[in-house]
A and B are shown apart, each in its own frame.
Chain A
Amino acid sequence: AQKVTQAQTEISVVEKEDVTLDCVYETRDTTYYLFWYKQPPSGELVFLIRRNSFDEQNEISGRYSWNFQKSTSSFNFTITASQVVDSAVYFCALSPNSGGSNYKLTFGKGTLLTVNP
Chain B
Amino acid sequence: KAGVTQTPRYLIKTRGQQVTLSCSPISGHRSVSWYQQTPGQGLQFLFEYFSETQRNKGNFPGRFSGRQFSNSRSEMNVSTLELGDSALYLCASSTSGTSVLDEQFFGPGTRLTVL
Contact = CB atoms under 8 A, between A and B. Distances in A.
Contacts of B43: 91, 93, 105, 107, 110
B45 A42 contact: no
Secondary structure at the B interface, as helix, strand, loop or mixed, is strand
Contact of A45 (B55, B92, B102): B92
Given A43-B88, A44-B106, A45-B92, A101 B55 contact: yes
Interface in B42-97: 42-45, 48, 50, 55-56, 58, 88, 90, 92, 94, 97
Contacts of A99: 55-56
* Contact residues on B (Cβ < 8 Å of other chain), bracket: 20 to 34
Given A45-B90, A50-B103, A107 B98 contact: no
Nearest to A35: B104
Contact of A47 (B44, B50, B103, B108): B103
A100 B55 contact: yes
Interface of A: 37, 42-47, 50, 52, 91, 93, 99-110
29 contacts: A37-B106, A43-B108, A43-B109, A44-B106, A45-B92, A45-B106, A47-B103, A47-B104, A47-B106, A52-B100, A91-B43, A99-B55, A99-B56, A100-B55, A100-B97, A101-B98, A102-B99, A102-B102, A103-B48, A103-B94, A103-B104, A104-B33, A104-B58, A105-B33, A105-B43, A107-B42, A107-B44, A108-B42, A109-B42
